Amino acid sequence: MGSCVTPIGKVIRAMTETTKDIGTEALRQHWGKQLADIDLEVARLALLCDIPLNDRSLALRILDNDATVCGKQNPKAFEKLRALLTMHMSVRHKAIDSMGRDEALALVEETLAGLRHRLGLPEKKAS
């Protein structure tokens, strides 16, 4: 049998591809909003604790409960910051599970770039 595609087959394929695009965009919007909301609050709390936002290694120290990264002692803000970083990681893993690693990590980078722009921070340098 040949690979003859009937007009109805073309319509079904186009509808399927459109549904995938809508589904992908809905996932991007959902996870993007989740990450943006969390990351904006992370930035606010980091500012309260006087923690530079341009050093990602500090995030690991915060997750390890190392309050010495704070330029200003604010135990309640630090506790909330640590909880939100944990939440960010959880949401990131869920996004990876639902969207795929490459798409989710690109979304995380877009979200962080938007946050840096919104806060007037320098752009991330290419490595």
Q: How many CB atoms lie within 10 A of CB 4?
A: 6
Q: Which tens digit of pLDDT belongs to each residue from 44-78?
A: 999 999 998 878 899 999 999 999 999 999 999 99
Domain-located, residue 75: yes
Number of domains in the chain: 1
Domain-located, residue 89: yes
Q: For residues 101 and 48, what is the distance between their CA atoms, to the nearest angstrom?
A: 32
What's the whole-model pTM score? 0.74
Q: Is the pLDDT of residue 91 over 80?
A: yes
Domain-located, residue 124: no
Which alpha helices (H) appear in the chain, and where do they start and end?
Answer: 7-48, 56-63, 75-99, 101-119
User: Residue 91: which domain range?
Assistant: 13-115
Domain-located, residue 102: yes
As a whole number, the mean pLDDT across the chain is 84
Q: For residues 62 and 71, what is the distance between their CA atoms, to the nearest angstrom?
A: 13
Domain-located, residue 125: no
Q: For residues 33 and 46, what is the distance between their CA atoms, to the nearest angstrom?
A: 20
Q: For residues 97 and 54, what is the distance between their CA atoms, to the nearest angstrom?
A: 27
Domain-located, residue 70: yes
Task: Report residue 120's pLDDT band, with 50, 70 and 90 as the boundaries.
Answer: confident
The predicted pLDDT at position 47 comes to 94
Domain-located, residue 1: no
Q: Is the pLDDT of residue 16 over 90?
A: no
Domain-located, residue 120: no
The predicted pLDDT at position 124 comes to 64
Q: How many CB atoms lie within 10 A of CB 114?
A: 15
Q: How many CB atoms lie within 10 A of CB 61?
A: 14
